[in-house]
Amino acid sequence: MSVVGFDVGFMNCYVAVARAGGIETVANEYSDRCTPACVSFGPRNRSIGAAAKSQIVTNSKNTVQGFKRFHGRAFSDPFVQSLKNSLVYDIAQMPSGTTGIKVMYMEEEKVFSIEQVTAMLLTKLKETAENALKKPVADCVVSVPCYYTDAERRSVIDAAQIAGLNCLRLMNETTAVALAYGIYKQDLPAPEEKARNVVFVDLGHSGYQTSVCAFNKGKLKVLATACDPLLGGKDFDEVLVNHFCEEFGKKYKLDVKSKPRALVRLYQECEKLKKLMSANSSDLPLNIECFMNDIDVSGHMNRGHFEEMCVEILARVEPPLHSLLEQAKLKKEDVYAVEIIGGASRIPAVKERISKFFGKELSTTLNADEAVARGLIVRCFLRTTQHLSPKC
């Protein structure tokens, strides 16, 4: 039996294993280390991962993603109700009062709990790990955001049990990142010397987490964490989508938000445009063929205009950093380095804000996408070598 680390994100998942004397993020059947957190239900079968993502446009009503945010939440929760109208798929109340997902599967209407859908995804990740290791996988460590409540954590553990996994531990993503950073550092101060304080800033697709950790040789201490669970790369996508919905409404007389399929396509194109703008400051085109009513649409955007539209979102970057230093009772000059990870941390305006706040160059020694998964497997390895009890 082997222990593996599952980084289950809002949009993508990563599987890490320890083998051949090192830590490795394993690839799926498409030779891709990134597996989309997506499940699609059809009339004859069910698709998970990359196969499901390819059906987001063609089978939008029965293809679910972003379900991570519903773990442990009641259907009546104001947060769930606020998201209800923005979802392409339907959600419903389970007999227990929790949130479920309503889809057409095998030509029948079914409601699956969030735990069941997450278990489907974990089963796929388990298969990926088993194919890579060529042996059965039962024990795992799963990542969760640091702001998850006890109910949300229990929901993730239940999902792992449904998938036939023994979840040894749920690990905060902030701690996993710190472990991934410290495990290979050979120049850390000795235990009796002053600790090295490193700040980690993780801006993903749907959450913003920060932590400050003190490092000595063989020792790691998380001094403080601060977060904004509602800030993420999705907010930047939303700004672009709203802009083009308005533009296409005036230019082509199209009500984009009335057609879920068209809206999904626009989200996909806006996400691509956002990534292109991170690497290019010139005017960039957005073209979609047969967008709605057989009409081809086009628009353009540049980084300067985009940043102007995102001023309110960018203003939310600093408050968690202020809170972090206050909790840790540290000054900016006490920080040795600032490591950034997460997909949305690649946005130049975000990097500029963080760098300006700390008054130093940002460090990118960690893999922005795989750092959490690598940290999880470090924890798996430590647990195995130290013969720790799974309940400790």
369 is catalytic: no
Q: 7 Cβ partners below 8 Å, 6+ apart?
A: 13, 14, 15, 16, 143, 173, 176, 370, 372, 373, 376
331 is catalytic: no
> Could you give the dihedral angle defined by the CA atoms of residues 70, 72, 73 and 79, in that order, rounded to the nearest 10 degrees?
-50
Question: Among 12, 144, 119, which residue's Cα sits nearest to residue 65?
Answer: 12
Out of 24, 53, 68, 369, which one is annotated catalytic? 68
CA angle, corner 85, sides to 319 and 237, nearest 5?
45
Structure tokens at 106: 């095998």
Structure tokens at 287: 């073209």
Q: What is the DSSP string of 320-372?
A: HHHHHHHHHT--GGGEEEEEEESGGGGSHHHHHHHHHHHTS--B--S-TTTHH
Rg of the chain on CA atoms, in Å: 22
Out of 115, 152, 202, 235, which one is annotated catalytic? 202
24 is catalytic: no
Out of 115, 158, 173, 339, which one is annotated catalytic? 173
> Could you give the dihedral angle defined by the CA atoms of residues 175, 181, 184 and 188, in that order, rounded to the nearest 10 degrees?
-100
Helix (H) or strand (E) run with residue 216 in it = strand 208-216
- The amino acid sitting at 244 is F
7 is catalytic: yes
> Which active-site residues does the annotation give?
7, 68, 173, 202
